[in-house]
Structure 1
Amino acid sequence: MPRARSPNSIEAEKLYHEGMRLVDIADKLGVPAGTVRRWKSTQNWDTKEGNGSKKKQSERSEKKKANVRKKPGPPKGSKNAAGHGAPKGNKNALKHGGYSAIYWDTLDEEEQEMIEGTPKDEEDLLIEQIMLFGVRERRLMQAINKYKGAKGGVYVDGAIRNETKRTFKDETEAQIYEERIKAKVEAKERLPGDVYNMTTSTSSTADLVARLERELTSVQSKKTKAIESLAKLRLEKQKLQRELTEDGAAEVNAYVQFYIPDNGRDSK
């Protein structure tokens, strides 16, 4: 069954059909702009008629096309960018389109906001992963120190609670039972409360510490690899930037030599 639409998404669609821009709708409703864009895509606002929405959408599209700025990059014909970027046919750059159509309606609002807030830049993703590995590393070290200092050499690794339950044919029978138990407690024939048994199991702290240390080693290894990947990525970025800068300087020199006459040659 499809999830019920939130009041904010209904109000956002209404404002959109009235001609308001997506970023302004997000500011008005106090939600991320990515959320409004996702509502527009998954709820097919542009295919719905009402309040001249198609006309306003067309006007916005034409205005957007008129204000398109040329993206920065190497000059036409430059080969500096060759070999960089995703291979032909790679779909890494696609948005959440397919994901949204299939799985998005199974997520709650908090999960959707979490996905939309995930950084898309490779460097940011690596930094975030390194930070998470650091947190796991710290928690494992705290646990190791805790159990290394535990007395007795054992720890409780499980507990089972056993209770005796009573069933009744109806509410009247249950009420009679409760009244009789209450009467016995008041007459001090029994203690108040219910009785249950608790069975616990213990294990060696030495075994636990060994498992935690193995997990710590694995986390530290993954953290080291993430740091190495971050360093390699930054070096590649610096190399590409240096190549672009050198190529730009070479093109400027070629332009000067071709278009500006040599004074010595002109004087002859």
Structure 2
Amino acid sequence: MAKERSPLRRKAFKIWCDSGRTMKPSQIANKLRINPSLVRKWKSVDDWENRSNPTVGAPYGNKNALGNKGGGAPPRNKNAVTHGMYETIWADMLDPAEQIKLMQVETDPRKQVENEIRFLELRERRMLERINKINEGWDSSSVVSESALIKDDETDITVIDDNGKTTHMKITQPVFKEVARKVKTPQVLERILAIEDALTRVQDKKAKLIELLLKIDRKELDREEQLVRIEKLRADVKLINSKAW
């Protein structure tokens, strides 16, 4: 089996081609941090002068497409879907339940923000309840028992084989016995601080949504004021035209 060419060997040839076939072996060697004599050898043995420039794609002789008759995946296929976050949704590919749910989705910006605020308030309430439960001893101390394998005292037994021969022997039976008992106390302070940290992030997000809600209201108010001014201008123009006649 022929030995696979070094990636540096292919890279050296590509650098030479990219330079318009003018770069010297010493310059290529300096780029690749290798011996210049090695680049000169590659240039001579591989006959760079008579070789065509490398093409973009898989190396010559690879078998990536072996058995592939050409073409791509069928339209609307899901081959590349991993978690679905960026999945393209086609309406005609939805089942009836999904189509009904899609029609029920709230698209009004204000109502969407209000729903998100409600969810955040619910999450905030659950976090506060969890902190109260921890303070009340919900995550109280627990006893942890440690056992070890200990050999018991020797025991005399009598064994009778198939021929009726009696044999007396002593055996020791290993048993597990409790050797230590510890009281495990959870890190209450650390758990509360972790919940409070998450609670702060939830509250920050809720504050930003409330600010967004105010902007939506302000924009709607500005729009109403503009409509009022437009109606007033129309009335003024109508009054002026009536006086002109």
- With normalisation by structure 1, the TM-score equals 0.39
Structure showing greater relative contact order (alpha-carbon pairs closer than 8 Å, 6 or more residues apart): 1
- With normalisation by structure 2, the TM-score equals 0.42
The structure where helix makes up a greater share of residues is 1
Larger Rg: 2
